Structure 1
Amino acid sequence: MIRLLFFVAFVLLIEVYAFQAFRTLSKIKWVQYSYIILSVLILGYIIYSFTQFDRKIGQTPSTLLTFGLVLLIYIPKIILTLVMFGEDFYRIISGTISHFLGNTDRSSFLPERRKFVSQIAIGVAAVPFLSLLYGMTKGKYNFKVIKQTLFFSDLPDSFDGTTITHISDIHSGSFDDPAKIQYAVDLINEQNSDMVLFTGDIVNTHASEMHPWVDTFKKIHNPKFGKYSVLGNHDYGEYIDWPTQKEKVDNFEAIKDLHRQIDFKLLMNENVKLKSGTDEIAVVGVENWGKSFKKAGDLVKASTGLNQNDFKILMSHDPSHWEYEVKNNEQNFHLTLSGHTHGLQFGIEIPGFIKWSPVQYVYKQWAGLYENLGRYVYVNRGFGFHAYPGRVGIWPEITVIELKKAEKVA
């Protein structure tokens, strides 16, 4: 009950202040009433949608839309509230000073609201509104190909120049535009890499989410060294309440089989050796291991038959695995490929100048390339989207990594 009262008070505060800004700009009554009616209808829809959420089903297109509306409407209104509240603070201070100085020219203790402040508030609030709206309509499919070249002195000669296309976090249950997904698959194929590696979260929860997209993802070309994948935290079906344990197990088995259906070799704490001439490297795949999520990954089991000197590419969905278990591991994993964070699907990236997202306060490695003592982790920003049905500043990513032989330092 206390939480409900707090929520109601919070929403009322935001709505009242947002209306104050709007009313300062427009004195036309029908415009004001239209704003109030629209705000009530949107709030009513949001509340209704949340009451219909079913823990046995999980995320649906309706919940995606609802969460998007919450961010789209209330982040700008919170900004309006902060600016208008700041003006009220100024008005109270100004009124108090005038009162004690004996200024009686005003009919009210508080000075009137200033129109230019409301204009500034609405102008500032328009930035996140338009950004979030773009993210929901265009940004979520604004695929970017990001290329990296990495140098290793112990890379076998025959693999010098080998290219890897890395994708992660498909989240097929969120898709709503077949043409855009086909475009992204075409982009993957255009890279013409030597192998394609997918680091987990093929669905949000249910295997059936991928069924409409199997034929599309099956079109990803099978390159020279093959296509390999691992599981992500969402692939275990642990974020809903299943009617029976059997249904959960059956869904998990069906999710694993999805990888076969799109012609990817799913690595479950195991490795494969890729041969080129007399040289070979290993692709190692672990189940999900996360600091705050399921810990099914087993590096020891996955490294069976390998030694410290083997050149190894590790696929591990959650980058916290690299931070806590991989980067100093005696097995010497040269390159780890991860995803999971999505870059929170929100942030600011200007290459060479700034890379920021709130997710960086949770994950040390959250987007792009990181290095420790010559060992690397690359965190893909994700192919799909989840929860918020859009992306702002952190675009969906297809990564292309080229492995190059570095000269040994004498």
Structure 2
Amino acid sequence: MRWIITIAILLALEVYAFQAFRTLFKFWWSLSVYVGITVVVLGLLFYSFYQPTPHGSLTGFRAYMIGAFLSIIALKLSVILWMFGEDIVRLSVFVYRKFSTSSVENIPSRRKFISTIALGLGAIPFLSLLYGMYKGKYNFKVLSYELEFDNLPEAFEGYQITQLSDIHSGSFDNAKKIEYAIDLVNEQESDVILFTGDLVNNLADEMTPWTSVFKKLKSKDGVFSILGNHDYGDYHNFESQDKKQKNFEALVQTHAEMGWDLLRNENREIRRGQSKLKLIGVENWGKGGFKKAGDFDKAAEGVDAKDFKILMSHDPSHWDEVIKNHEKDVQLTLSGHTHGMQFGIEIPGWFKWSPVQYRYDQWAGLYENAKRFINVNRGFGYLAYPGRVGIWPEITVIKLKRKSASEV
């Protein structure tokens, strides 16, 4: 029944979009090419859902067919919006003439130049989504910030953090690009590297080809990590609960094999002489049906409200719902999860938009509430749509600064 409804909606959209193409292309062969491409993409998309996928339901061939389908849909939806607007004008003109002159007239025909504009503008998201699959998904960007705090211990002046998030290793298909990104991380020479969850899409063995690569991550104080919602295996149909548990245990062991210190509702202390910085890591906590295994109060046991604290929490809704007003006063929270939806428009310092902003108030970059900050990393990898458009894979570098006495 689900497929029948989906097919009915797609057919309705297709019939409407076809009108624009018929206005422009009068030759049967050009219309046949248009219809043929649509049929082939839809056929391969449906076929992909009946093929096994080694690392989950939204990877490999299936993911690329989803990407191709989204590209075509973006083109057609853009065309439909323009054509629908023109149809409203045509119908309004017809009704006006009908009742003002009482003459019998047909609805004005579509204008070719409107169809041309519609197709031209529709080509922008179409080509962008194709580019996102070809180049955008590995277009790694280093985003650097300096943050000032009243209570940062003097010994940690200039302390530098590199944050990674949402690796989703089961989606990778280019070893050289990933090795380049790891080298780029190490070039930052940060004091600590913090990974904020979603190492895999579903299965621990997704990391098998990549463990030796990510093991190369180095920093003065090491690499610390937490779990994201995908790391629990909840989106995979395991044969038994026992196999699911073994998969989870294997994933936890993978963190250890790479030399990463996995924090599961725990905290660590980083020292510089007599000064200390508290690093807190919670398991996934997310609203809207996402797993709530995170327990901040447990993770922050032994941490004083006066301590300078950095919290790693995968889902930014945790900060919004719990952390930003918590009595423990967490100065900096690091999250990921949203991927910035892997699609949007960003003009640094001027404009930032993605459809995901209608779901999350904090979805990409830095946010502040009463001198408490959260950084939402846009993600290292990708999932479902095998690409990125406008929202590029991110390596975040944050330098901690101490406010001078005159500024406090």
Q: TM-score range by the shorter chain?
A: over 0.9
Task: Give the secondary-structure state (helix, strand or coil) at the position aligned to 2:210.
Answer: helix
Selected match of 1:330 from 318, 327, 332: 327
Q: Is the 8 A contact 1:53 1:63 kept in 2?
A: no
* 1:44-63 equivalent positions in 2, closer than 5 A: 44-52=43-51, 57-63=56-62
Give the letter for the 2:379 counterpart: G
Selected match of 1:280 from 268, 272, 276: 276
Selected match of 1:374 from 360, 371, 385: 371
- The alpha carbon displacement at 1:254 in A equals 0.7
Q: Is the 8 A contact 1:17 1:80 kept in 2?
A: no
Match of 2:108 in 1: 111
Match of 2:303 in 1: 306
Selected match of 1:153 from 147, 150, 154: 150
**Is the alpha carbon distance of 1:56 and 1:183 closer, same or farther for their aligned partners in structure 2, counting shifts above 3 Å?**
closer
1:248 equivalent to 2:253? Answer no
Match of 1:127 in 2: 124
Match of 1:78 in 2: 77
Alpha-carbon distance in 1 for matches of 2:220, 2:56? 40
- The alpha carbon displacement at 1:153 in A equals 1.8
Give the letter for the 1:34 counterpart: V
Alignment gaps of 5+ in structure 1: none
Q: Is the 8 A contact 1:286 1:299 kept in 2?
A: yes
Alpha-carbon distance in 2 for matches of 1:206, 1:343? 23
**Is the alpha carbon distance of 1:309 and 1:97 closer, same or farther for their aligned partners in structure 2, counting shifts above 3 Å?**
closer
**Is the alpha carbon distance of 1:33 and 1:179 closer, same or farther for their aligned partners in structure 2, counting shifts above 3 Å?**
same
Selected match of 2:232 from 232, 236, 250: 236
**Is the alpha carbon distance of 1:55 and 1:142 closer, same or farther for their aligned partners in structure 2, counting shifts above 3 Å?**
closer
1:179 equivalent to 2:162? Answer no
Task: Give the secondary-structure state (helix, strand or coil) at the position aligned to 1:265.
Answer: strand
* 1:259-408 equivalent positions in 2, closer than 5 A: 259-292=255-288, 293-408=290-405
Task: Give the secondary-structure state (helix, strand or coil) at the position aligned to 1:212.
Answer: coil
Q: Which moved more, 1:114-123 or 1:400-409?
A: 400-409
Q: Is the 8 A contact 2:55 2:201 kept in 1?
A: no
CA-to-aligned-CA distance 1:226-284 (integer Å, 9 cap, x gap): 11000000000001221100110000011111111221111111111111111111111
Match of 1:200 in 2: 197
Q: Is the 8 A contact 1:327 1:333 kept in 2?
A: yes
Alpha-carbon distance in 2 for matches of 1:110, 1:28? 24
- The alpha carbon displacement at 1:23 in A equals 2.1
Selected match of 1:257 from 227, 249, 253: 253
**Is the alpha carbon distance of 1:347 and 1:286 closer, same or farther for their aligned partners in structure 2, counting shifts above 3 Å?**
same
Q: Is the 8 A contact 2:68 2:130 kept in 1?
A: no
Alpha-carbon distance in 2 for matches of 1:279, 1:97? 79
1:163 equivalent to 2:160? Answer yes
Taking structure 1 as the reference length, what is the TM-score of the superposition? 0.94
Selected match of 1:224 from 206, 220, 224: 220
**Is the alpha carbon distance of 1:335 and 1:56 closer, same or farther for their aligned partners in structure 2, counting shifts above 3 Å?**
closer
Give the letter for the 1:261 counterpart: E
Q: Is the 8 A contact 1:161 1:402 kept in 2?
A: yes
Task: Calculate the aligned-residue CA RMSD, in Å.
Answer: 1.9
Taking structure 2 as the reference length, what is the TM-score of the superposition? 0.94
Give the letter for the 2:374 counterpart: V
Match of 1:33 in 2: 32
Q: Is the 8 A contact 1:273 1:282 kept in 2?
A: yes
- The alpha carbon displacement at 1:180 in A equals 0.8
Alpha-carbon distance in 1 for matches of 2:45, 2:302? 54
CA-to-aligned-CA distance 1:2-51 (integer Å, 9 cap, x gap): x5554333212221222221222222221222222222122222222234
Give the letter for the 1:154 counterpart: N
- The alpha carbon displacement at 1:380 in A equals 0.6
Q: Is the 8 A contact 1:169 1:383 kept in 2?
A: yes
Q: Is the 8 A contact 1:380 1:399 kept in 2?
A: yes
- The alpha carbon displacement at 1:54 in A equals 7.6
CA-to-aligned-CA distance 1:51-76 (integer Å, 9 cap, x gap): 44789943331221122122111121
Give the letter for the 1:226 counterpart: G
Give the letter for the 1:392 counterpart: V
- The alpha carbon displacement at 1:322 in A equals 0.8
**Is the alpha carbon distance of 1:45 and 1:257 closer, same or farther for their aligned partners in structure 2, counting shifts above 3 Å?**
same
Alpha-carbon distance in 1 for matches of 2:208, 2:378? 24
Task: Give the secondary-structure state (helix, strand or coil) at the position aligned to 1:197.
Answer: strand
* 1:58-69 equivalent positions in 2, closer than 5 A: 58-69=57-68
Alignment gaps of 5+ in structure 2: none
CA-to-aligned-CA distance 1:88-135 (integer Å, 9 cap, x gap): 33333333444452556x7xx232221101101101101110111111
Alpha-carbon distance in 1 for matches of 2:340, 2:253? 28
Task: Give the secondary-structure state (helix, strand or coil) at the position aligned to 1:363.
Answer: coil
Q: Which moved more, 1:86-95 or 1:279-288?
A: 86-95
Alpha-carbon distance in 1 for matches of 2:36, 2:260? 51
Q: Is the 8 A contact 1:308 1:331 kept in 2?
A: yes
Identity of aligned residues (%): 55
Alpha-carbon distance in 1 for matches of 2:303, 2:89? 68
Alpha-carbon distance in 2 for matches of 1:68, 1:197? 30
Alpha-carbon distance in 1 for matches of 2:107, 2:351? 42
**Is the alpha carbon distance of 1:353 and 1:95 closer, same or farther for their aligned partners in structure 2, counting shifts above 3 Å?**
same
Give the letter for the 1:35 counterpart: Y
